Amino acid sequence: MKNNLEKHFTASALILNKEGKILLLYHKKLNVWLYPGGHIEDNETPDQAVVREVLEETGLEVEIIGNLDDSLTDKKNDITVLHNPYVVLCEYINGKSPHYHIDLIYICKINKYNKLEYNKNESKGISFFGKDEIQEIPLFPNFKTLLEKFFKEWTHKQK
């Protein structure tokens, strides 16, 4: 890691449908399939950011599922517990201004299935993929490993 580069916090979502398939967007510039996500704004928590980014990029209303230790919430002192991410990655972004994304990746479920659509400025497609289908689509190697790990763990948890 190049310590002198800026670090930007981002939030991304692994979204499963009822059939156990994962939602991916085809990234226009990178020519690979990725999960929805983006930068965390100054006025929002990572939990709020991932829900907002998913809505903006897919049209879906989602809810984060996973670890949330609400026993630490203290309403009197305005302390709220946030969800633990499934995984956190530090990803090098090579562009006009090279930097890193500290990407908090959450598992989400669909709350409201609006019309599935994508931002045509950023993406070339949107689709759900099963664990066998991810072998056939263009993915970054580490992202493919993440999806394989996720499907293996998720299938295990569903039993």
What pLDDT digit, counting tens, does each position of 115-131 carry? 788 888 888 999 999 99
Domain ranges of the chain: 7-158
- pLDDT per position as a tens digit, 128-156: 999 999 999 999 999 999 999 999 987 65
Per-residue pLDDT reduced to its tens digit, 60-112: 999 999 888 888 888 999 999 999 999 999 999 988 899 999 999 999 999 87
Task: Assign domain 7-158 to a CATH class.
Answer: alpha beta
How confident is the model at residue 114, as a pLDDT? 72
Residue 32 is predicted with a pLDDT of 95
Determine the pLDDT at residue 156: 53
Say what the pLDDT of residue 23 is. Answer: 96
pLDDT at res. 118: 85
pTM of the model: 0.91
CA dihedral in degrees (123, 129, 115, 40; nearest 10)? -50
Is residue 159 very low, low, confident or very high in pLDDT (cuts 50, 70, 90)? very low
